[in-house]
Structure 1
C-alpha cells in the first residue's frame, strides 16, 4: 500500500532543510545577498516559496541560517586542535598554525570571508557570527595552550588574549588578501607557517644571548 501523502516525515523534513540551506548558500556565495532571490533558491530544489518562508520567515533569516551552517561545517571541532599537540611547544604551534592557515585559505574559508566582508555593513551580526564561531574559538584554544605550555609557572602572566590575537593576525593575512582579490596565489604553506611561528616566538631581532660581535 502506498504511503499517504501529507506532511513529510521527520527524516524527510530534515533532509529538505539540509538541502535548502546548501542550495541557499551556493546561491548567496555565487550571486551575493541582494541578487539572490527566494524564487531561484526554491526553484533549484523544486519546492515552493511558501515552504522556504514557513521555515525561515524571510530571505535574511535564510541567509543567516545558511551562513551559520556553513561556518559549523567549515570549522573543525576543538578536539582536532588538541590532537595536534606534542611535547615540543614550537612543533605544536606549527601544527596548530598549519591547521588554521589551511582552514582559512580553503575555498570555503575564502568565500565565507568574502561574503561576510560584503554583507556585514548591512547585517553586522553576520560578522559577529564568523568572529564568535571562528576567530574566538581559536583564540580561546590558544589562550589555554599558552597558559599550559608557556606561562604555567610564570608571574606576572601577560595578556594571553592579546597574544592569541597577535598570532591569529599573523596567520590570517593571505586569506584576507585572496578574499579581497589582492592576491591570486596561495603562499607556500610550510614556509609561511614556519616563518610566522618563528616570528611570533622569536621576533625579528637577532639572538642577543651571545653578546656583541666585534668587527
Structure 2
C-alpha cells in the first residue's frame, strides 16, 4: 500500500492560526503524550470538531507546531546576527548557543523522537519538519559563512560542508546524552566547554591567520 497516498492531510481555515497557538501552549506545557485534544481545543477556544477539521491526527498538529517553532527560532537568530559588526568568533559562539539551547529543549527532544517513531508510518512528517526547521538554520549559516569569506574573515571552499561540520561540533556529547536520557547533561559548564571547543576547532580549520 502506498503510504503517501493515504496520509492524513492538513486543511486550513479561518481559525487555523488560533488552533496552532493553542496547541503550541499545550504542547510546550504538557509535551506530546500529555497533551489531550480536549485541552488543545479548550486552550484554542474552538470545538473539537473544528480542530479535527484542520488536523485529523494529533501528530500532524504537533509537527506543524514544531515546524513553526523551529522556523521562528531560526528567524530570531538570523535577525540578531550582525555580521558587519560582530567578530566571527562571537557570531559562531552565538550560533552555537542558540543551537544547543533549542537542541536541549524538551520540545525539540519530543519533536526528534516523534519524527523517528513515526518515520515508517508518516515519512513526510520528518521530511517537512527538516526543510522548514533545521534546513532553515543551515541556510542562514551558509549565508553568513559566505559573507565572512567574501570579507576575507574565513577561508572556505565548501560552505554547505562547513555549516554542517559546525552544527555537528555543537552536538558533541550533548545530543546522545539527551536522546538516551543520560543524567548530568547540559549544565552550563558542559555547554561552555562544547561551545568553546566547537568555535576553536572551526576557526582552526577555516580561520584566516
> Which bin holds the TM-score, normalised by the shorter protein?
0.5 to 0.7
Aligned residues: 189
Greater relative contact order, per chain length (Cα 8 Å cut-off, separation 6+): 2
For structure 1, list consecutive stretches of 5 or more residues without a partner in the other structure: 1-9, 204-208, 210-215
Aligned counterparts of 1:163 and 1:58: Cα–Cα separation in 2: 38
How far off its partner does 1:152 sit?
5.4
1:69 aligns with 2:68: yes
In structure 1, what is the equivalent of residue 102 of structure 2? 103
Indicate the residue corresponding to 1:199 in structure 2.
201
SS for the counterpart of 1:197 is helix
Q: What does residue 185 of structure 1 align with?
A: 185
* Deviation sequence 1:67-109 (CA, Å, 0-9, x none): 3334344444353342376452223222222222222223333
The TM-score normalised by the length of structure 2 is 0.68
Q: Given the alignment of the two structures, is residue 158 of structure 1 paired with residue 157 of structure 2, yes or no? A: yes
Q: 1:166 Cα shift?
A: 1.0
Displacement of 1:140: 1.6
| Residue 44 of structure 1: how far off its partner (Å) | 7.4
Q: Is the 8 A contact 2:70 2:133 kept in 1?
A: yes
1:94: which partner in 2? 93
**CA contact 1:25–1:63 (8 Å) conserved in 2:** yes
Q: Cα distance, 1:47 vs. partner?
A: 5.5
Q: Structure 2: how far apart are the matches of 1:103 and 1:146?
A: 21
TM-score, normalisation: structure 1: 0.66
Number of the residue aligned with 2:24: 22
Tell me: CA distance 1:151–1:14, structure 2 relative to 1, closer, same or farther (3 Å): closer
SS in 1 for 2:133: helix
SS at structure 2 position matched to 1:202:
helix
CA deviation after TM superposition for structure 1 residue 200, in Å:
2.0
Kept in 2, the 8 Å contact 1:74–1:109? The answer is no
Could you say if the C-alpha distance between residues 176 and 113 of structure 1 is closer, same or farther in structure 2, counting changes exceeding 3 Å? farther
The structure that has the greater radius of gyration is: 1
Offset of residue 170 of structure 1: 1.1
Superposed displacement of residue 127, structure 1: 1.8
Q: Please state whether the residue corresponding to 1:120 is helix, strand or coil.
A: coil
Partner Cα distance (2:74, 2:93) in 1: 18
Distance (Å, rounded) in 1 between the aligned partners of 2:180 and 2:164 = 21
Q: Which string of whole-angstrom CA distances, capped at 9 and with x for unpartnered residues, describes residues 182-207 of structure 1?
A: 3542052222211111122225xxxx
Root-mean-square deviation (Å):
3.7
Structure 2: runs of 5+ lacking an equivalent: 1-13
Return the offset for 1:60.
4.7
- TM superposition shift of 1:52: 2.0
